[in-house]
Structure 1
């Protein structure tokens, strides 16, 4: 069963790994004196964390863009997190996923005459401090144990500001314009010409953390409600439609005269799955000024309306906050969400795509949707990614930054050419997709993936989840006053962030 679960997870990761990252931003006004903005869409800036990964113009053979370098049997040691060990370190054991990753490893080793080794440490959020201290300790001690470090984005990336990693824009063998690197991530973390962490096809976990909406088809069937596929595909899947559907199905299933945990709710979500509504509505916290520096945006009428509509909705019986609801019962949040969704206890569920694995044995059908637009006039969907994906870096204590960059480039390019297409083919055979419409919507979601600048610097700036906090806990109508009370502090944090990279 363990291998079957791992197989399922790999298929999901790979099926999503061909996804691009288009740009974002429905207009708001700059807080530093700009206009208050309307609902017209802003033109994405060159560094907006959301530009599209352009496909290669011609199909390149493996390693064709890399130099003919032999490293004389050099050992290249990489720090990886235990929770995503299968992204890098597998054995030849007959499991199709493990075998493909193993083949990539051997191809890189043979091509460049190196030995790839891996140091495995617990690296989930619960082990954040320990994982960061492992990296700090080796680098600050001048220890060259790790030639490459990888890890969860919101654990490794915050170390950028501490000067522990090499600037990969200066590395000899890495080309971050290639399609095996996530251009949106590179652009977003590029401050003052420094890119110290990268996200690419050497790892696959970035794409399993796309925020999506699952819907229970049985709940809709019982009420003769049409599936929202057509609305989604025609660009008409909006916040208003989702909230209206949620309110229309809410029901007292047990007949006790009140709506409780075991009754039917319209939407189940928690803070991490409420925040995606912000970007989905075409909203942003910052924009670039004429000097290429990010400045705060004054909340627009569009933002205030979306915030207050969701704020009011979250106070109705149609919404269930899974964090507060299930933690009181002593059950972990996401597994409880999965089980109640299977039982038809809510119509919509906000989670990341990897949650689909827990639904594979669901007896009734379910569908997948992007987070809704603010309105039909919005030009496109915006699908954010939960900050648990893998990023990579080269420690300044590594014996050779160029050699480390060469191996990162090789792993990513080979992943792009062999690992990802292989698994994508498997996924396309229908492991998860239950109907043609779901397949089309999955394509729609992949084309809408987006990374928000403030979320990339979650630890440094600390206000990327402000919207969710307001929606779920604040008094309605107070968004602007809360923004104003935090404005100077946030502006100072932005200034401090840029200074750290001077």
Structure 2
């Protein structure tokens, strides 16, 4: 999110800083009641708030029509029970994000005379949309699918390109990295916006155990991250300080302490932290990107780390669930835990001081951090093929996105920064750094030639040979995909 919101917290004042735009909010903390939906390109909400940027919405009233969003239910599928629905909630309940969603929806509903409805589904979402499209029901206005299923929606012919909508995708409430990542042959079939926060919670970070770091005299990692000097080499240098066979039984398992706690997904977490995608997408063409020397060398190093039990604890090899590894982390059994931001909900139940920083740069020569997104949980918004009222979709969708930028995202930062001992003033700047550098790997997300199945494993030998064996399969899958896009232009 290149135009993310920075929450700088002090003991007496919370300031909002909108980065990379000419617009900022200052003076007092934003609340849902402060927010109004504008009909013009810019709007001032009060004397002590600066002008906000809004689309130039026309006057429209849809007479109370339902605006239906078919939503992937990450909360149920992944057990994220404490996270409110980011599309619709029934009433305020005092929880920050819940109430922000309620207030946002009320404003948009009143502005356009609609009723926002969230229809929940999990693994059956694609089938549900297909049934609607084939029947010509026109049931859904938007589809909020998990990243890894976006390709299936396209392959089944269930979604259309964003160019059917009249929206400015360069506005700050759209994640510009997602726009770039999902532009294929000039078409955009999916995008991330501030309408949702499940995708933000699915952003993968390095939680670090601040109490343990202080005991080991490790310098302030927030400052290291902000300086751009946080590297994998530095992370690995701490292994000898923390790795220990705690119960002296001669083996390393869940009873011992490690540098890194993660899972099979660490392979693509670290690959993406190197800025390496499985495919290169220049907006016009897509090509395989794992057969080059840098990618092969990176994967060899990654799997050497993942199989080193003096460094890396893989929870899946011990059949542990995320709350269990969070408990290990809180028990000083890991200095770093590579997990989606969502894990803060587990950590805040425990007695642990922790910080949130990017997964380190794979190489010091990298200009920027490259932040992975857990594509099994993160969601993305697509435009269903069975709706014809694209004007209404455009207006309501962008109004939700714009209002979320000013109300949902500040509330989201409150939730992330408001948990135990993550209230450092620099923590908000680090979060901005994280969200500004998220990477969307179209090859991994679309899963050309089952790339995910090849990479997301606990170990891999003969990496160069494995990549060579799959190269033609991946390239053929890409070729088929691109030919389908070209047909849409005819």
Asked if Structure 1 and Structure 2 have the same fold, meaning a TM-score greater than 0.5 normalized by the shorter chain, the answer is yes
Which whole-Å CA distance do the structure 2 matches of 1:298 and 1:253 have between them? Answer: 39
- Counterpart selection for 2:249 from 244, 256, 281: 256
Which whole-Å CA distance do the structure 2 matches of 1:410 and 1:105 have between them? Answer: 10
1:420 aligns with 2:409: yes
The 1:230/1:199 distance shift into structure 2, 3 A limit, reads closer
The 1:315/1:169 distance shift into structure 2, 3 A limit, reads same
Query: C-alpha offsets along residues 28-84 of structure 1, whole Å, 9 cap, x if unaligned?
Result: xxxxxxxxxxxxxxxxxxxxxxxxx98444573375422222223333222224445
Alignment-derived partner of residue 330 in structure 2: 342
Given that 1:147 and 1:404 are in contact with CA atoms closer than 8 Å, whether structure 2 keeps it comes out as: yes
The 1:425/1:187 distance shift into structure 2, 3 A limit, reads same
- Counterpart selection for 2:344 from 332, 348, 356: 356
1:305 aligns with 2:297: yes
Which whole-Å CA distance do the structure 1 matches of 2:23 and 2:355 have between them? Answer: 35
Which whole-Å CA distance do the structure 2 matches of 1:368 and 1:285 have between them? Answer: 26
Query: C-alpha offsets along residues 197-241 of structure 1, whole Å, 9 cap, x if unaligned?
Result: 332122111111111112223333444443444432332222222
Q: Which has the higher contact order (CA 8 A, sep 6+)?
A: 1
Which whole-Å CA distance do the structure 1 matches of 2:236 and 2:261 have between them? Answer: 12
Alignment-derived partner of residue 89 in structure 2: 90
- Counterpart selection for 2:306 from 277, 300, 314: 314
| Cα offset, 1:488, TM superposition | 1.0
Aligned positions of 1:179-218 closer than 5 A: 179-218=172-211
Deviates more, 1:483-492 or 1:427-436: 427-436
Alignment-derived partner of residue 63 in structure 2: 72
Aligned positions of 1:55-454 closer than 5 A: 55-58=20-23, 60-61=42-43, 64-83=55-74, 86-95=85-94, 96-119=96-119, 121-123=120-122, 128=123, 130-171=124-165, 173-288=166-281, 292-297=284-289, 299-318=291-310, 319-325=312-318, 327=319, 331=320, 333-387=321-375, 388-424=377-413, 433-454=422-443
- Counterpart selection for 2:460 from 474, 485, 494: 474
The 1:346/1:423 distance shift into structure 2, 3 A limit, reads closer
The 1:446/1:431 distance shift into structure 2, 3 A limit, reads farther
Structure 2 residues not aligned, in runs of 5+: 7-17, 25-41, 44-52, 76-83
CA RMSD of superposed structures (Å): 2.9
Which whole-Å CA distance do the structure 2 matches of 1:226 and 1:421 have between them? Answer: 29
Given that 1:269 and 1:351 are in contact with CA atoms closer than 8 Å, whether structure 2 keeps it comes out as: yes
Give the secondary structure class of the aligned counterpart of 1:349: strand
Alignment-derived partner of residue 42 in structure 1: none
Given that 1:202 and 1:412 are in contact with CA atoms closer than 8 Å, whether structure 2 keeps it comes out as: yes
Alignment-derived partner of residue 32 in structure 1: none
Which whole-Å CA distance do the structure 1 matches of 2:413 and 2:356 have between them? Answer: 18
| Cα offset, 1:168, TM superposition | 2.3
Given that 2:259 and 2:334 are in contact with CA atoms closer than 8 Å, whether structure 1 keeps it comes out as: yes
Which whole-Å CA distance do the structure 1 matches of 2:65 and 2:427 have between them? Answer: 47
Given that 1:181 and 1:200 are in contact with CA atoms closer than 8 Å, whether structure 2 keeps it comes out as: yes
| Cα offset, 1:403, TM superposition | 1.6
The 1:397/1:257 distance shift into structure 2, 3 A limit, reads closer
Given that 2:92 and 2:102 are in contact with CA atoms closer than 8 Å, whether structure 1 keeps it comes out as: no
Which whole-Å CA distance do the structure 2 matches of 1:186 and 1:439 have between them? Answer: 24
Which whole-Å CA distance do the structure 2 matches of 1:315 and 1:112 have between them? Answer: 55
Given that 1:185 and 1:199 are in contact with CA atoms closer than 8 Å, whether structure 2 keeps it comes out as: yes
Given that 2:340 and 2:374 are in contact with CA atoms closer than 8 Å, whether structure 1 keeps it comes out as: yes
| Cα offset, 1:360, TM superposition | 1.3
Given that 1:338 and 1:358 are in contact with CA atoms closer than 8 Å, whether structure 2 keeps it comes out as: yes
The 1:269/1:501 distance shift into structure 2, 3 A limit, reads same
Which whole-Å CA distance do the structure 2 matches of 1:417 and 1:436 have between them? Answer: 20
Q: Give the count of matched residue pairs.
A: 437
| Cα offset, 1:310, TM superposition | 2.8
Alignment-derived partner of residue 8 in structure 1: none
Deviates more, 1:202-211 or 1:418-427: 418-427
Alignment-derived partner of residue 476 in structure 2: 492
Which whole-Å CA distance do the structure 2 matches of 1:341 and 1:265 have between them? Answer: 9
Alignment-derived partner of residue 31 in structure 1: none
The 1:486/1:94 distance shift into structure 2, 3 A limit, reads closer
Deviates more, 1:78-87 or 1:313-322: 78-87
Given that 2:287 and 2:475 are in contact with CA atoms closer than 8 Å, whether structure 1 keeps it comes out as: yes
The 1:455/1:18 distance shift into structure 2, 3 A limit, reads farther
The 1:268/1:194 distance shift into structure 2, 3 A limit, reads same
Structure 1 residues not aligned, in runs of 5+: 1-13, 20-52
| Cα offset, 1:152, TM superposition | 2.0
- TM-score, structure 2 length as denominator? 0.80
Given that 2:126 and 2:152 are in contact with CA atoms closer than 8 Å, whether structure 1 keeps it comes out as: no
